[in-house]
Amino acid sequence: MESSRPALTVLSDDEASFRSAIREFAENEIKPHVQKMDQAAQLDKDVLKKLFEMGLMGIETPEKYGGAGSSFTMACLAVEELGRIDGSVSVLVDVQNTLVTNALLRWGTDAQKENYLPKMAKEWVGAYALSESGSGSDAFALKLRAEKKGDKFVLNGNKLWITNGNEASLFIVFANIDPSKGYKGITAFLVEKNFAGFKVGKKEDKLGIRASSTCELLFENCEVPVSNVLGEIGKGYKIAIETLNEGRIGIGAQMVGIAQGAFEAALSYVKSREQFGKAIGQFQGVQFQLAEMRTELEAARLMVYNAARLKDSGQPFIEQAAMAKLFSSRAAEHIASTAIDLFGGNGFTKEYPVEKFWRDAKIGQIYEGTSNMQLQTIAKMEMDAIP
């Protein structure tokens, strides 16, 4: 149940209308499937189809490629509203827009854009393949090797923890063409699911966002045309860093959505649950907890929106993105945990929604840069700013 009090954050008329449309869509088309998808740990194919029909898989994609031609902020609003209902659907849309499509728009050749962007706006899911077993936070320690042979690169190695692995038809894959050059050998490749030598491996059995597929990728003499190099050879590190800086704002939006969903569930519950002859929401102690939750939620939302608007306006946003992800992921876990407390024993059961919000929130402090990595980014930028 939605809170009767609107969000305090100011949106333009277009943004408010867009968010309202996504909220209605999420309530009607996604919410009925959430529990079943979580239990099955699998995305409903009809839900995926409706995401494309709603235009949510190409929000920033220019209209000439079949997309909505909208802004990064709009993409974050969609991610937030979907997260309010289901974190799994939210992250699928987030990776599609803020990582894969964003990278293609910034670094793709005209031919690559013409080939892939229309497909991604209408039918193809994208995935972003950077992590490996030995390269998590140390992303540039990756071992996937790419060797040039004629007009192709041959890739050998594995990737781990790749979101959208099962659903994706296009993967942005980072491999090293010359390990002796360290991170300067890293190159980004556009790999299609049907390329010979490429296979999606096992799907992880996760604590939260269970309907979102997180998979291993296997490359055994996988042949990728030279024309499928994204950006310049040896500049994959730049693509990875800059894309993740933007993607962290999207994760922040996902966390705000999850926190909003948990808060609304708790608010509704404390108004109806009675103890000692009155609704528990009438006790001051409970009211103070709600006030803390609401304040954290609004602070997180403002930080995410600020970072998104800075990005859209072409201003520096890296530190703001790191702070937004750091704070919103902590807030989401705390708000969801407090919601469980307010539900009491019911909150610890799967019959009520708050335990899932808590499980879904935890990943926010891990993927697309752990909280420690965000702290390091913030501290470094502050230290560098000192004369």
Same domain, 271 and 218: no
CA distance 42 to 225: 32
Question: 184, 217, 235: which is the final residue of a domain?
Answer: 235
Residue 207 in domain: yes
Same domain, 138 and 108: no
Q: How many CB atoms lie within 10 A of CB 315?
A: 9
CATH of the domain at 191: 2.40.110.10
Same domain, 41 and 83: yes
pLDDT of 8: 57
Q: What is the dihedral of CA 96, 100, 241, 206, to 10 degrees?
A: 40
Is beta strand 168-176 parallel, antiparallel or unpaired with respect to 125-129?
parallel
Tens place of pLDDT for every residue, the chain, 387 residues? 444 454 557 799 999 999 999 999 999 999 999 999 999 999 999 999 999 999 999 999 999 999 999 999 999 999 999 999 999 999 999 999 999 999 999 999 999 999 999 999 999 999 999 999 988 778 778 999 999 999 999 999 999 999 999 999 999 999 999 999 999 999 999 999 999 999 999 999 999 999 999 999 999 999 999 999 999 999 999 999 999 999 999 999 999 999 999 999 999 999 999 999 999 999 999 999 999 999 999 999 999 999 999 999 999 999 999 999 999 999 999 999 999 999 999 999 999 999 999 999 999 999 999 999 999 999 999 999 887
CATH of the domain at 70: 1.10.540.10
CB under 8 Å to 14, separation ≥6 — which residues?
none
Same domain, 261 and 380: yes
The string of DSSP codes covering 350-378 is TTSTHHHHHHHHHGGGTTTS-HHHHHHHH
Q: Please state the separation of Cα 26 from the chain's center in Å.
A: 16
When divided into structural domains, the chain yields a total of 3
pLDDT of 17: 95
Same domain, 226 and 299: no
Q: Strand, coil or helix: what is 37? A: helix
Residue 113 in domain: yes
CB under 8 Å to 385, separation ≥6 — which residues?
none
The H or E element containing residue 200 is strand 198-203
Same domain, 227 and 341: no
pLDDT of 7: 52
Same domain, 65 and 163: no
Q: What tokens does 360 get?
A: 């879904």
Q: Compute φ and ψ for 375, nearest 5 degrees.
A: -60, -40
Question: 204, 220, 235: which is the final residue of a domain?
Answer: 235
Question: 235, 260, 276: which is the final residue of a domain?
Answer: 235
Residue 4 in domain: no
Angle at CA 109, nearest 5°, toward 107 and 113? Answer: 95
Residue 2 in domain: no
CATH of the domain at 293: 1.20.140.10
Residue 6 in domain: no
Residue 356 in domain: yes
User: Which residues are part of the catalytic machinery?
Assistant: 368
Residue 3 in domain: no
Same domain, 58 and 173: no
pLDDT of 1: 44
Domain that holds residue 367: 238-385
Q: Strand, coil or helix: what is 170? A: strand
Same domain, 246 and 381: yes
pLDDT of 330: 98
Same domain, 252 and 381: yes
Same domain, 195 and 266: no
Q: Strand, coil or helix: what is 138? A: coil
Same domain, 60 and 30: yes
Residue 110 in domain: yes
